[in-house]
Amino acid sequence: MAGLAFVFGGSEGIGLAVAERLVASGRRVVVLSRSAAKLDAALVRLGTGALARAVDVSDPLATRAAVDVLVAEVGVPGLVVTTAGYARPGYLEDLPAEDVTGMVTTNLLGTINVCRAVLPHLRASGSGTIVTTSSMAGLAGVFGYTVYSATKFGVIGFSEALRREVRPYGLRVLVLCPPNTLTPGFDEENRHKPAEVLAAEESVATLAPEAVADALVRALARRRGFLVVPGRDSRLAAVAIRHLPFVVDRALRRPEASSG
């Protein structure tokens, strides 16, 4: 799997695990993230096969400038993976306005900003793959994740439309839909989850970021498909969401408030 890859959100979690797999496969990798300190730590893990650049994907001009400079320095990537994003659980009425805006700006607009920045270069090269990151919460709305689910549904819709838009240029688009994954971001989520959400998730399996990265690497090798759903349980859930929505609706329903 030789070539050059840009991994946005590659300083930790799923993005870092993906970057590690790509470096191990022989790719040159550039990891991009807001935090210079986290990027420095990531480079220690990734070794000499990686470079790092600090950029905030919520800033469209900065994102485009960073991509243009990197292309001039190291070339056009054959693979672009964007994993930057975060979740702040909470019921809609309780979420601070800054968290609503932040999730929409980072998760959805950040994805769009990255794709807008890299697309001219990929189109000119006549080949390449873009991987966006949604979530299982982008396949079925989850109570306590109202705004997060909206952003991740948006990523899937955007990616589906983009896939059809860029296919004539020889470009491929995949969207990664991981379940709960044991990342630093997930630890932060747990500190904000309502009790009902924590209780509902007790029986839900979580994956290591390395397992998510492995699923993506396998999907890239297949050269076909669109949705990448890591984990057997998650794939079964994705089938149920599509074909048995009434079952999923019961499973994901918020418990009735107790009386008295």
Residue of 79, 71, 87 lying closest to 21 (CA atoms): 79
Instruction: For residue 144, give the CATH number of its domain.
Output: 3.40.50.720
Q: Which residues are catalytic?
A: 134, 148, 152
Q: DSSP character for 106?
A: I
Q: Is residue 64 part of a domain?
A: yes
The range of the structural domain enclosing residue 94 comes to 4-251
Residue whose token pair is 């500190």: 191
**Domain annotation covers residue 257:** no
Q: In which band, very low, low, confident or very high, does the pLDDT at 256 lie, cut at 50, 70 and 90? A: low
Task: Determine, yes or no, domain membership for 47.
Answer: yes
Greater pLDDT, 211 or 49: 211
In a domain, 258, yes or no: no
Reported as a single tens digit per residue, the pLDDT across 62-96 is 999 999 999 999 999 999 999 999 999 999 999 99
161 domain-assigned: yes
Residue 259: inside a domain: no
Asked if residue 145 belongs to a domain, the reply is yes
Residue 248 has pLDDT above 70, yes or no: no
The pLDDT tens digits of the residues spanning 13-32 come to 999 999 999 999 999 999 99
Residue showing tokens 């009386």: 259
Q: What pLDDT does residue 259 have? A: 41
Split into its structural domains, the chain has a count of: 1
Which position has the higher pLDDT, 210 or 236?
210
